[in-house]
Structure 1
Amino acid sequence: MNKFTILLISLILILITGCSSNNFEIKLFTPKSFTPDQSTPIKVKILDREGNPVIGAKVSADLDMQGMSHGDITMKMQETGNGVYVGRAKFEMEGDYTATIKIDYNGEKWKREKRFSIVYNNAQ
């Protein structure tokens, strides 16, 4: 084989390996609004490759407002059962956020990003 063929095969194998590292399906559940000075529940549901709930993981999330640099909101999430983990965050501003969800499960660590938007709760 020539060098180009070896390089091409190597790149394909790297891509296949990278794509198969999707060990979890993560669903993020956030409310549409928040009340200032109150904590807001944030939930994630984590399923394994076969669609079974992931039980016993250590889960945390960093919430970062897009386009702002006033600091992340970091929260540890507690398992409530059936692959659902809940944390609470105090939002200061409405806007678009990125949640970086970190999972530590059976000695392996993963990180995924999910995006969401949230606004002030005007019904006070």
Structure 2
Amino acid sequence: MNKFTSLIIGLLLVFMAGCSSNNFDLKLTTPKSFTPGQSTPIQLKILDREGKPVKGAKVSAKLDMQGMSHGDTSLKLQETGNGVYAGKANLEMEGDYTATIQIDYNGEKSLREKRFSIVYKKEQ
């Protein structure tokens, strides 16, 4: 193996280790229904490898409706305590969504995806 190939393999290994998404356990919580025109709460609980709450992370998410091309909804999640981060999204349609979650914690970055479904709230 020549030096160039060794360098490329080494860089790939470093890149993969730095972008590892297995360093956090994520639990995404969303309501089952929403009211169009109103903000919908999104909550994320983040635990580290040892199961301890992650405190002091910068967390953002992009919500993309599967199979649609009308763009995505971006939001920053604020820490509320005990590893919980919360934000509000303005959803336009009911359906299946993918949340692409970016976490920056102590110089470690992680990019993960979580899926959820949501429907319009029925008027009573």
Taking the aligned partners of 1:69 and 1:54, their CA distance within structure 2 comes to: 33
Question: In the alignment, does 2:65 pair up with 1:62?
Answer: no
Taking the aligned partners of 2:24 and 2:123, their CA distance within structure 1 comes to: 37
Match of 1:116 in 2: 116
Match of 1:48 in 2: 48
Aligned residue identity for 1:32:
K
Taking the aligned partners of 2:114 and 2:76, their CA distance within structure 1 comes to: 16
Taking the aligned partners of 1:100 and 1:63, their CA distance within structure 2 comes to: 6
Query: Based on CA coordinates, which of the two structures has the bigger radius of gyration?
Result: 1
Residue 123 of structure 1: CA displacement? 2.4
Unpaired runs of 5+ in structure 2?
Answer: 1-8
Taking the aligned partners of 1:87 and 1:109, their CA distance within structure 2 comes to: 20
Match of 2:77 in 1: 77
Matched residues, number: 108
Aligned residue identity for 2:86:
V
- After TM superposition, the structure 1 = structure 2 runs for residues 29-44 of structure 1, keeping only pairs within 5 Å, are 29-44=29-44
Residue 107 of structure 1: CA displacement? 1.1
Aligned residue identity for 1:120:
Y
TM-score, normalization: structure 2?
0.83
> Cα RMSD over matched residues?
1.5
Match of 2:97 in 1: 97
Aligned residue identity for 2:120:
Y
Unpaired runs of 5+ in structure 1?
Answer: 1-9
Q: Percent identity?
A: 75
The C-alpha deviation readout for 1:44-101, integer Å capped at 9, x for no partner, is 0000000000000000000000000101000000000000000100111000000001
Deviating above 2 A after TM superposition, structure 1's stretches of 4 or more consecutive aligned residues are none
TM-score, normalization: structure 1?
0.83
